[in-house]
A and B are shown apart, each in its own frame.
Chain A
């Protein structure tokens, strides 16, 4: 069963966008940690129960559903699921809650949001999705894993449509780390990304426009961490699995390291794109954004009349490696 990419949304402090417009978002991140709650159009009683990461994901999901023309669909919400990937989730809420134990000021409202998967639950409640739901928390690669698992759930018949989210927020522990990691690292930032995957049958029944079709994916883990040499080795294996060199055209990546990005660039004749250079690294959000980048680039090329294969590749210092490839649906 084929899996189609139907839409994308992005929300970050200072930036928001949907569909191919996401590719042209530029400029520094606004780190004031405000997205303008009125944009979310959620009643105040519900809004005050949401942590920041859930707000980003709900905002991105609204944009994504709008991009995919959700209102025109005839959809059974029990067949519409949600999988989210986040490197740290609401760890800031957890640590705040931990601190509140010391002063005896414990909040029954805050506690549920200490659970990382609560943002997936908030999305399901907000939009009524009753299909499969899950949350990955495997560092930056979580965004990829969320998308790959969502595709599998569609292929196995557990769902017709899946919302895939990826988000991370700046937290003190990670910000602190910036002070001790080498200057070659890309700046950290925060934001939420959402995309929609659907089965071939759903696309036909609802007359949807498929931006791209997911054609292959893979993941491994390097137990010794990813050094430059292992990244080149991983990249070679990706090339081997998606086809011979030259049969892919466009590679979108997310990297925390300029050095590692350069190592891959040297190895590859394809057009390379890394939105992190413009938007900062949003961990799982950036990983998923690179996937959006690859799929939307396939769409953009298709509209301009030439077929493109788009690959999104990820590997990080802790050892996670993953790739997803999209083809023109036509």
Chain B
């Protein structure tokens, strides 16, 4: 039996704020978390770039001594759990699914440094440094003994995690799954994207002709997914119905998207098919919108291929222009942004616009947030290795 999957709780921490409320205020106002840094000293390696960092000084004391990725995850997960008001017993049976590209990268680098200094490592040292430590630690924090999984599909990791969590709830394996994603800015990602020449030395300007690349961001977001039966039984409202997803691989290039956008279009179509939705139902697309030349042109082409003439009536925005590209956390953070657009019936803007690009001719909400009827929203994620994920959320029912 297939179960309807509802979103009953959300939490996030990123450069736009600590918590969903601060996050939405910033998105709605079009506030930017991105700052220009003229030089970034990476152990002697200098990079000119822009980034969107979390204000770590505002983290509650109990989370401050942890690995940054872990503390961000626990904060976001705790907010989602409290928001959903899910009871302890349900939480004990819940699954935990996390998407991340680098996981507890600070701890891994530190552990490796100890190793290079010939210090003996203990089993906990190694366990704390590996990618799945986030998922295990979140489960231990909430005493959740359902399926526990970490997906690491680069910049589509947490969209992939949400899809997997959906399948656990829809198939009846779990009634409740706590799922999300996390990544923090690290010298490895700064140096790597700089080497690939995709790190913008300017603000990130998605869909603008003058776009030059990404602004790295960091953060975490978690959602509580629950079966409709479970939410009804405990009389809980829901922010959205997670009604479908599509998955695919371009099989084209390690880092560059296929300019034809064919696979991206197919993945969006399969998400719509799974959601049982008409093209006209989707009024907002939270684009992957990295601000790179290749991505934004390809994504626009794919959207137009799927939605045809009606694509010009859809509001498309890249919230990365505000919170930066949070890599493995992007899918979950942008899923929260998409759901909030359904809750508030408002589409957040795309910042940084300078000049129109003839290849990017959709409505990207450059002027600011837009009040409109949004029955359903789509969120796209594209990643290194050709991974593509599209998620679809429908407006939920919120009481009081």
| Residue positions of A touching B, CB distance < 8 A | 49, 77-78, 81-82, 87-89, 91, 94-95, 97-98, 101-102, 104, 106-108, 111-112, 114-118, 120-122, 124-125, 127-139, 145, 149, 152-153, 155-156, 158, 172-174, 176-177, 179-181, 218-223, 317-320
Contacts and interface: CB of A to CB of B under 8 A. Distances in A.
Q: Which among A91, A104, A156, A223 has the highest number of chain B CB atoms within 10 Å? A: A223
Contact of B43 (A101, A107, A172): A101
14 contacts: A82-B249, A88-B131, A89-B152, A98-B112, A98-B188, A106-B194, A115-B152, A116-B131, A118-B385, A124-B249, A124-B385, A124-B386, A134-B151, A149-B167
Interface string B224-261: 00000000000000000000001111111111000000
Interface of B: 42-45, 96, 101-103, 108-109, 111-112, 115, 120-123, 126-127, 129-132, 135-136, 139-140, 143-154, 157, 160, 163-164, 167, 170-171, 173, 187-188, 191-197, 246-255, 263, 266, 270, 383-387
B148 A115 contact: no
Contacts of B383: 117
Contact of B195 (A82, A111, A153): A111
A177 B121 contact: yes
A180 B125 CA distance: 11
Contact of A78 (B108, B146, B173, B266): B266
Contacts of B43: 101-102
Given A106-B45, A173-B129, A130 B385 contact: no
Contacts of B387: 117, 120-121, 133-134
B316 to A, nearest CB: 24
Given A114-B192, A125-B254, A173-B112, 16 more contacts: A49-B254, A77-B251, A81-B247, A81-B248, A97-B191, A102-B43, A115-B101, A115-B154, A120-B153, A133-B386, A134-B153, A134-B164, A137-B131, A173-B111, A221-B148, A223-B145
B385 A106 contact: no
Nearest to B270: A158
A124 B254 contact: no
A218 B45 CA distance: 48
Contact of A117 (B112, B144, B157, B192): B157
B167 A152 contact: yes
A137 B249 contact: no
B370 to A, nearest CB: 33
Secondary structure of the B contact surface, majority rule: mixed
A130 B247 contact: no
A194 to B, nearest CB: 16
Nearest to B196: A108
Q: Which among A102, A112, A132, A152 has the highest number of chain B CB atoms within 10 Å? A: A132
Contact of B132 (A94, A120, A139): A139
Secondary structure of the A contact surface, majority rule: mixed
Contacts of B136: 221, 318-319
Nearest to A132: B247
Contact of A173 (B115, B146, B170, B188): B115
A223 B144 contact: yes
Nearest to A131: B248
A87 to B, nearest CB: 7
Nearest to A217: B173
A12 B144 CA distance: 36
B132 A138 contact: yes
Contact of A112 (B96, B139, B164, B384): B384
A97 B188 contact: yes
A106 B191 contact: yes
Contacts of B385: 112, 115, 117-118, 120-122, 124, 133
Given A111-B196, A121-B384, A134-B160, A220 B191 contact: no
B81 to A, nearest CB: 15
B167 to A, nearest CB: 5
A252 B149 CA distance: 22
Contacts of B149: 136, 138, 145
B254 A98 contact: no
B314 to A, nearest CB: 24
A180 B45 contact: no
A137 B248 contact: no
A102 to B, nearest CB: 5
B279 to A, nearest CB: 20
Contacts of B150: 136-138
Contacts of A124: 249-251, 385-386
Contacts of A320: 148
Contacts of A104: 44-45
A82 B247 CA distance: 11
B123 A181 contact: yes
Nearest to B46: A104
A221 B145 contact: yes
Given A117-B383, A180-B123, A319-B136, A132 B191 contact: no
Given A116-B131, A177-B123, A221-B146, A121 B386 contact: yes
Given A115-B385, A121-B254, A121-B385, A98 B187 contact: yes
Given A81-B249, A98-B188, A117-B154, A176 B115 contact: yes
A135 to B, nearest CB: 5
